[in-house]
Structure 1
Amino acid sequence: MAENNTAQAPEKKGKMKLIITVVVITLLAIGLSVAGTFWFLKDDTASAVEESSSEPAEPEFQPSVYSDIQKPLRTTVQAQGRQRYAQIYLSFEAKDAAALEGAEKHMPLILNQLNMLLGSTQFADLQTPEGRVALSKKMLEAVNKMLEQEGEPAIARVLFRNFVVQ
């Protein structure tokens, strides 16, 4: 019996060596896998940086700047032989503050043109969303045309803050 106990002891050492060897090989494989992944990703990142630096950069986001016109546009519009009343509070949107400063500088001229444009619009057009969008586009074209004539930068949009027709 004593001989059997001594014979079993070396077998346990052999199993322990096998377990340690498998664990070391597994850890080595994991380490090499992680190192290889970092090596490949490092090369891809470097080439992506080189490619992006050679291409023209996209323009940076510029927030819009707004200017409210404090006094509303008030005028009468024609509606089937009757005169109706329209009142619109406006704001201008631009990407450049210089455009709003130019619009402020020439505000009497702009308001006159916008009042004339609003007065020549039909009442039925002002009652539909499509008509209001069209009016906004016409106003934008009129304002930008005047700003261009005066040598000022253009604005981006004409916005309605309050729109009343009756």
Structure 2
Amino acid sequence: MAAEPEADVTPRSGTLKTTVLLATLAVLAIGLSIAGTLWFLADRSEAGGGTDDPAELAAAQEPAFTPSQYQVLDKALVTTVQAEGRQRYVQVHLAFEADNGEALAAARLHLPLLRSQMIGVLSGSDFMALQAPNGRAALTSELLAAVNRVLEQEGAPGLRAVLLRNFVLQ
């Protein structure tokens, strides 16, 4: 039998150099990525450009987030509106949105007056306008203005929004 030549078992130096080069580039890219992230997230005030003036520090800070508070009105507002010589009914379930509990407490205290004002706004509305989405948005703006006007007269803080929970036209 003829002797077969032995296969070269040692890897070629070209592929070994390429593998080492790619591994080095990967480690370098990861290191630069980490360094760049840390640089962007670093606090700039420690870099020597900061000030010790409390007024400037207070102005530079963002205002604290205050979550909204809600009060749901248990009873719906029901009234009639005129539409082309016919009497139509409107039923609205509402909720109040405020920044603080003080405004909601004032709204609870003056709720009979607020309901009366809101029913007046509803009954003065146009039936055809209430059928359109932008008409309902205008209605909530009018209701908010009426409620805040009453709360302002009573010396209480105003509400942020009047929200429609359910809206029925008949």
Deviations 1:52-110 (A, max 9, x none): 97341221111000000000000011100000010000000001110000000000000
Q: 1:49 & 1:101 partners in 2: Cα distance?
A: 46
Q: Aligned residue for 1:85?
A: 89
Query: SS of the residue aligned with 1:62?
Result: coil
Q: Aligned residue for 2:67?
A: 63
Q: Aligned residue for 1:50?
A: 50
2:109 counterpart of 1:105: yes
Q: 1:162 aligns with which of 144, 163, 166?
A: 166
Displacement of 1:48: 7.3
**TM-score, with structure 2 as normaliser:** 0.70
Deviations 1:124-150 (A, max 9, x none): 011000100001000000000000000
Count, aligned residues? 132
Structure 1 segments of 4 or more deviating over 2 A?
A: 41-45, 47-55
**TM-score, with structure 1 as normaliser:** 0.71
Task: Looking at secondary structure, tell me which structure has more helix per residue.
Answer: 1
Change (3 A) 1:80 1:62: same
2:119 counterpart of 1:115: yes
| Percent of pairs with identical residues | 44
Amino acid at match of 1:160: L
Amino acid at match of 1:71: K
Q: Aligned residue for 1:18?
A: none
Change (3 A) 1:124 1:46: same
Query: SS of the residue aligned with 2:88?
Result: strand
Query: SS of the residue aligned with 1:50?
Result: coil
